[in-house]
Amino acid sequence: MKKKIPNFFFLILLLLSFTSQIHSSQHFIKPPTKKPNNYADDVTPPPQEYFQVTHSLPTDNLVPSCTINSLTHSFENTYNTPPVTVPYTPPPTSCLWSHAVLNFHVEIAGEQYDRIAGVWMNGVEILRTSTAQPTENGIFWNVRKDVSKYTSILSEDDVTLSVMLENIVNDEFTGIYHVNVTFEFYDMNRNGNYNNNNNAGLFPLSMVTKRNKMKEISNLKNRKVLYSVENDYNNLINNLNKPADLIVPVSLANGEEEGYWFRIQNESDVMETDIGIDKRTYKAVLEVYVSFHGNDEFWYMNPSDSYVEVNNLDTGRAHGAYREVLVTIDGQLVGGVVPFPVIFTGGINPLFWEPVVSIGAFDLPSYDIDITPFLGLLLDGKKHSIGLQVADGISFWLVDANLHMWFDSKDVKAEIVKSKVPAMEIERKYEFERLDGEFEIEGEREIVVISWVNSTMGNLSTELNLKSKFKNKIKYKDQGAKKELDHSYKKKTKVKTTDEFGNVVGKTKVKIDYPLTVETETLPGPEQGTSVMTTKLEQERSEKVSDDKDTTGLSHKQSCDGTMVVKGKEVLSGSADNHQDYEYTDGLVCYSRKVDVLNGTIVTDVTSSNCNMFY
């Protein structure tokens, strides 16, 4: 079975070509035998289900008000072809709904690499996903995502649904992706209360709780008008947390031909789109989707340019290990995204991801940049340029963004009182001799923005304080045969909102932590032209938002250890284990799941309502 070998192993093999005599006397690992087949030789096993560990949706045990099958398509030779686009039919008026779930179902058998895919509605991306590498007997998987925040589009007529999945089918790679896209609509008002903050990767900075807020209000002195009754408070929170009134795609330029994402080739590649902002906008959030490919698929493991040049290595994987998606308004920096290092199913060790894929591989996270503090630049009735680029990036990145806007009943006034949004301060330290060396990068940024927005909800002032730290250290040992990575990104955000009388009406803290460690070693294999690769991996996606009383958060950890015998781009044999621990809480309920996989067999899969991550 051919499994895609990640590009960074090609660099290791290049290093070994300089030092083959050093390792010629080494004992190499005996290739492990494959796990026994539970089926008789004349019985074909059924297709196996693959999945990403995630939390269940509140709608999972409910009957939908209606279901709409929007697309059924087989993606065969679709490389360099336009996305598949079909008309979208919204729910009928007889279907009462308040929440929507996208179900992305895939079936495939044969040989195939992993691929990237996107789903858009009128150019607004609603899902970024990647595919698993199939078996001859076939595999399938389902991605279920709450897409209620896209309600303004889901309820519209004259909408198109587009899916991009570039695939190649030939005599060697035979796998065809059979995709079915459906939407399920639920009436949560009929089925009881529902916490709208159920997407573990998207925590609104304005999130506060009614219990805490009413306690604050009861203790405030000299109240005048704003929030003097409970309904005023309820109206404010509902307006802040409801789905956007309008969502505008930022990257429409080449959608009909190349997908509704920008293909960013280098750090100088700046993609800009002019967008008009309605004067009634009282809140605006830019939702960024991003994935990394080619020479930057493992950007967090790239050595310096000088290392590659001095050692005459034939690889494009270089330019260091700092990357950040930068967002600008009229050329002015307003925020950045250091993405979570999602590992696709061909990455690090392809045997790790059978049948449980890595964190975020089937549902890549998107990232919210709240640009409400910058409405003072935008509410003048003119078009403004929204820009996206990748700092230090090389070929290639797929980046796009959705601009979510919330409207008042009349024109809104806004002003920036203070704005400090600097570029990341980067320090680099490279030391190497021949093929051994260390590459260290550290970065810091501190953002402070103070602004006010005057709408029918009152004159609300917001103070935003954000601190982020980026650290990356790569070591090459034994003339490049051993490689060690220690990578982390941390971000802390504090938001305080006050009313026109100086009363605090909201405090929110957001913490993000993305640590990753990888250890690899490559030795000559048991036969000519083969190599033995051993790999250890530890990774976590930790996200938490809290006020004085409640916490909403995610902690997803994975630990993997394995060995591969490789010839060219093919994994001949190997062994691998994958351990994942998942915990999610929304302040009302908690969900945890523990999954252990040994050589492609799930040996543990336990769920619980107990969480220990934040308490």
**Amino acid identity, residue 479?**
Q
> Token match 């991009």: residue?
164
Strands 124-130 and 116-121: antiparallel
Which residues does residue 523 pair with via DSSP β-bridges, in sequence order? 532
Residues in the chain: 615
Q: Which residues of 356-375 are buried (b: 16+ CB within 10 A; e: fewer)?
A: bbbbbbbbbbbbbbbbbbbb
How many C-beta neighbours within 10 Å does residue 330 have?
A: 16
pLDDT the model gives residue 34: 41
The rounded distance, in Å, linking the Cα atoms of 340 and 430 is: 24
Task: Show me where the domains of the chain are located.
Answer: 7-608
CA–CA distances in Å: residue 284 to residues 148, 197, 281, 369: 17, 17, 7, 9
The rounded distance, in Å, linking the Cα atoms of 404 and 284 is: 6
Q: What Rg do the C-alpha atoms of the chain give, in angstroms? A: 25
Q: Which two tokens stand for residue 381?
A: 């009735």
Nearest of 249, 243, 247, 251 to residue 278 by alpha carbon: 247
Q: Which two tokens stand for residue 590?
A: 């908690």
Q: Is the dihedral of CA 310, 315, 319, 320 positive or negative?
A: negative
The rounded distance, in Å, linking the Cα atoms of 353 and 343 is: 10
DSSP string, 425-480: EEEEEEEEETTEEEEEEEEEEEEEEEEEEEETTEEEEEEEEEEEEEEEEEEEETTT
> Token match 């619980």: residue?
608
**Helix and strand element counts for the chain (H, E):** 8, 30
The rounded distance, in Å, linking the Cα atoms of 425 and 615 is: 34
The rounded distance, in Å, linking the Cα atoms of 477 and 389 is: 34
Omega before residue 396 within 30° of 0, cis: yes
Which residues does residue 72 pair with via DSSP β-bridges, in sequence order? 180
Q: Which two tokens stand for residue 230?
A: 């409970």
pLDDT the model gives residue 405: 97
Q: Which two tokens stand for residue 565?
A: 């015998």
How many C-beta neighbours within 10 Å does residue 51 have?
A: 17
Which residues does residue 61 pair with via DSSP β-bridges, in sequence order? none
Nearest of 165, 166, 173, 50 to residue 110 by alpha carbon: 173
Q: Which two tokens stand for residue 107?
A: 């079936």
Helix axes 210-219, 230-241, angle to 10 degrees: 140
pLDDT the model gives residue 258: 83
Q: Distance between terminal CA atoms of the chain?
A: 45
532 and 523 Cβ atoms separated by less than 8 Å: yes
pLDDT by 10-residue block (mean), the chain, 615 residues? 54 45 28 45 83 93 96 95 96 96 98 95 97 95 97 96 96 96 92 43 31 34 33 50 93 78 96 95 97 97 96 95 98 97 95 97 97 96 96 97 97 97 97 96 98 95 97 96 97 94 91 97 92 96 86 94 90 94 89 96 94 61
